[in-house]
Amino acid sequence: MQFLFTTLLEQAYSDQSEATDIQSQEFSSQLQIQQNSLSYSSQKSMEKNRYLIITTSQEIAEKIDKDQQSITLNSINSINSVNKQIYYVLNQQRRMKYQRSLLISKQKGRQIEL
């Protein structure tokens, strides 16, 4: 009984697959017939629209790429600017520590002389 049910189920799937293939072929042939029956100007118009869509898509993609590059460069420049500021501040701190240590050593030297 189980074998019979499995066989019937497989046959149903097979039939459905064949029906889908036939429908797909019919749709494709109907589409081809419609395209062939279109006037020359309609076909040219469709080709022109297709070309416009493709070129517009390419232009948009190029614009996005340029914008991304610009954002990346701006980010890098900002990071470099921050790094320069940090470097400057660190150098100032080093100078101040050095000057402080000089003052402390001078004060100690004066205290020894007194």
CA angle 22, 28, 31 (to 5 degrees): 140
Of residues 14, 113, 77, 9, the one with CA closest to residue 1: 9
Q: Does the predicted model carry a pTM greater than 0.75?
A: no
* pLDDT tens per residue, range 39-88: 777 778 888 888 899 899 999 999 999 999 999 988 998 999 999 999 99
**Residue 43: partners with Cβ closer than 8 Å, 6 or more residues away:** 35
Query: Sign (positive/negative) of CA torsion 65, 68, 74, 75?
Result: negative
Looking at residue 19, its pLDDT comes to 58
39 phi and psi, to 5 degrees?
Answer: -70, 165
* pLDDT tens per residue, range 13-39: 566 666 566 666 776 777 677 766 767
Domain ranges of the chain: 1-82
**pLDDT higher than 60, residue 92:** yes
